Amino acid sequence: MSLTRTVAWNTVVQVAGRAVGLLASMAVTALLTRHLGLAQYGQMVTAATYVGLFSILGDAGLYLAIVRRAAQEPERRSQILGAGFGLRLVLAAAPMIAAYLLIQIVPADRFPTYGPTVKLAVAVCAVNTYITLLNQLLIAVFRLHLRMDLATGGEFLSRVVSLGAVVWVVHSGGGLIAACVAVSTGPAANFVYAWFVTRRFERFVPHFDRAISRELLGESVVLTMVTLLGLIHFKVDTLLLSVLRTPTDVGVYGVAYKLHEVLITFPGLFVGLLFPVFSRLAATDVPRLQQVFQRTFEVLLLASVGAATVVFVAAPPLAAILGAPEAAHAMRVLAFALPAVFVSLGFTHLLLAEGRQGWLVRLYFVLVVVNIGANVVAIRAWSYMGAAAVTVATESMALAALAGYWIGRRRWRLQLRVLTCVPLAAGLAVVGCSLGRLIAPSEPTTRILELAVRGGFTGLSYAGAVLALRLVPLATLRALRPRTGPAAAGPSRDAL
């Protein structure tokens, strides 16, 4: 099967699975905001965000180092995966323990959001994050074999289990801690699924190999800095909001940012699938790498502009359905950050594939400093709306720097015909908002109808226009067609 066909198929399956996951995630958010209230939901967001910062130390850059090395050295793949999993078992535990211990010394009288309940929620979130970090390495096996359709099955299972557990908590009247435990059941189910399914591809045994561990850790140190600074760049607004504002403000922003956070996982699925390909081509076939990245850029830009348009149009009814109507304005502002985030992920993974982590560390260090300073000022003045505006500004800065550095070093001339989607999306946003105003929202059922009209019209119209204008490469469309015959089963020169 050709690289284009394989990537297209895996991407479609992942997008479909993630779309179902998005619906499940939004259902969980709606249930919890109504059951716990925005203040307690804000405490839950605070605990998860706090632990999220320590998750990067638990990853220690191992995931990207293992994927890149396993893609470039298939003859040692089992040994690399086994040694990497052994390292993860140990390295992921220490930061989670540190996260719980450090939160205990935060004075609750000075920072009311970090009360005893939040500190206990941190412990639950730490266990959840540890399981997720272990599962991440199992997903690497699916990624290396371009079988992310199987990984999507595990993610679907995770969402269903979490949703069912949250429904049970709501029905039984459970509190914040019970809700955190319910959300954690999904990743645990996904880990069990992934452990047994990956045995079909790689029968590695977790172990400690001093030589391989030294290689992986030597490569992962800089990657850790890149990912840690990147995560701080993404999460610092929520943390500062929890310190400078009330739990209710955190809850409102948490609802808006939850949608943003789920949406930016879509390009992560696509680019993550291509990362082993980038790594291989960067070492063996640079002209082919240029062709692959051109298509990657086109897909990311088209998808991001479409997602931003749908979010902008559908934000009012969606926020109301999720139990936080005041989050609609923040959702709309955050929508403008989506194109920058999507395309930046493509450039970042390309630079990582070529081993240019040092420059990325310097870039994200500057962005973190700017982000913290701007958020302190903006959050004090405009609360969560200020945080949303700073996100748009800093993500745009990141994209400008990444694109400028890459194009300047490589002197590649990216084809920009896909920018036609921007005025197209602007026109559809005007029409979609106008259609939504024709429905007078009064009850939840009316809100759902308004959401369907706004989002459905905008999304379908955008997709239809993109296809009609042939902004998606024809090779990508052909790759989505079913293929039969002997050629369908045989590997091509593009296979990993």
Domain spans of the chain?
1-208, 216-481
Contact 89, 156 (CB under 8 A): no
Calculated CA dihedral for residues 470, 473, 478, 480, nearest 10 degrees: -100
For residue 10 the two structure tokens come to 């895996």
Q: How far is CA 276 from CA 58, 73, 152, 296, 322, in A?
A: 22, 11, 18, 14, 37
As a whole number of angstroms, the distance between CA 162 and CA 179 comes to 10
As a whole number of angstroms, the distance between CA 441 and CA 434 comes to 14
pLDDT score, position 490: 38
pLDDT score, position 493: 34
Question: DSSP label at 246?
Answer: -
- Identity of the residue numbered 427: G
- Identity of the residue numbered 36: L
| pLDDT tens by residue, 112-165 | 778 888 999 999 999 999 999 889 888 888 877 777 778 888 888 898 899 999
- Identity of the residue numbered 260: H
Per-residue pLDDT, averaged over 50-55, amounts to 84
Contact 115, 176 (CB under 8 A): no
Question: DSSP label at 415?
Answer: -
Written as one string, the DSSP assignment of 194-223 is HHHHGGGT--------HHHHHHHHHHHHHH
pLDDT bucket at 167, cuts 50 / 70 / 90: very high
| pLDDT tens by residue, 89-124 | 888 888 899 999 999 988 877 777 788 889 999 999
As a whole number of angstroms, the distance between CA 167 and CA 321 comes to 17
Pick the more confident residue, 263 or 179.
Answer: 179
Question: DSSP label at 327?
Answer: G
Per-residue pLDDT, averaged over 3-32, amounts to 74
